[in-house]
């Protein structure tokens, strides 16, 4: 099992984000959201649901499934999506196509950038990780540390670190889906939006 250094990944002291906060001042996260939207040339709106992805653009990470599903989500809901990370050129082209199809709703940065990654964790409402397989994964831990809710596939280390939200008990740390399908991912994104 991987882990993160809570002193390094600490929204209360992180110098890479716009506004520091902790569990007693999560209302300050909105400043990071607005800064993130501005950084990606998206309309600044604290009320819009902001989804994100940080990581390699790779088949393993389920980026193709995420892009196809986001096409529906961006068409039918008041959401925005931002992405940070490089990798497969074909997947980067698919992201650019998504951005062109949904102007003002998609921001992409197809290179690794630690500053933007931290700002994404601090500003996004939810982070998407629909991996085909994931031996452990660490990005979901970083996201949760910053208060971004993970939407993950029930596989490998994602299963070990994210507890599916139970609407009856109000308990859980994220939204989890089993089947590697657009329908399954869409269902959990909709739950996160609601």
Residue 5 belongs to a domain: no
pLDDT tens digits, 76-95: 999 999 999 999 999 999 99
Rg of the chain's alpha carbons, rounded to an integer? 15
User: Percentage of residues in the chain with pLDDT exceeding 90?
Assistant: 86
Q: What is the mean pLDDT of residues 120-139?
A: 93
Residue 1 belongs to a domain: no
DSSP readout, 85-146?
--B-HHHHHHHHHHHHHSTTTEEEE-S--HHHHHHHHHH-SEEEE--S--SS-SHHHHHHHT
Model pLDDT, residue 99: 99
Structure pTM?
Answer: 0.95
Number of domains the chain is built from: 1
How many whole angstroms separate alpha carbon 77 and alpha carbon 72? 8
171 is in which domain, residue-wise? Answer: 28-37+48-193
* 1: pLDDT strictly greater than 80: no
CATH for 33: 3.40.50.2000
Model pLDDT, residue 131: 96
pLDDT tens digits, 20-53: 999 888 899 999 999 999 999 999 999 999 999 9
Residue 9 belongs to a domain: no
Token couple for 19: 């506004």
Model pLDDT, residue 159: 86
| pLDDT band at residue 136 under the 50/70/90 scheme | confident
Residue 73 belongs to a domain: yes
* 3: pLDDT strictly greater than 90: no
Q: What integer best gives the mean pLDDT of the chain?
A: 95
Residue 14, CB half-sphere, CA atoms under 13 Å: how many? 28
Q: What is the mean pLDDT of residues 99-105?
A: 98
Residue 83 belongs to a domain: yes
């Amino acid at each position: 099992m991987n882990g993160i250094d809570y002193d390094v990944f600490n929204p209360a002291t992180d110098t890479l984000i716009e506004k520091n906060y902790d569990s007693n001042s999560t209302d300050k996260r909105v400043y990071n959201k607005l800064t993130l939207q501005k950084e990606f040339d998206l309309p600044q709106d604290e009320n819009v649901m902001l989804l994100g992805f940080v990581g390699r653009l790779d088949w393993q990470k389920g980026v193709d499934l995420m892009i196809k599903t986001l096409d529906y989500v961006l068409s039918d809901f008041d959401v925005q999506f931002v992405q940070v990370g490089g990798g497969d050129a074909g997947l980067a082209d698919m992201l650019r196509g998504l951005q062109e199809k949904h102007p003002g709703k998609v921001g992409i940065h197809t290179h690794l950038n630690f500053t933007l990654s931290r700002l994404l964790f601090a500003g996004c409402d939810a982070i998407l990780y629909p991996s085909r397989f994931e031996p452990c994964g660490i990005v979901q831990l970083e996201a949760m540390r910053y208060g971004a809710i993970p939407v993950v596939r029930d596989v490998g280390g994602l299963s070990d670190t994210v507890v599916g939200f139970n609407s009856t008990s109000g308990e859980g740390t994220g939204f989890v889906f089993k089947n590697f399908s657009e329908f399954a991912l869409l269902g959990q994104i909709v739950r996160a939006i609601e």
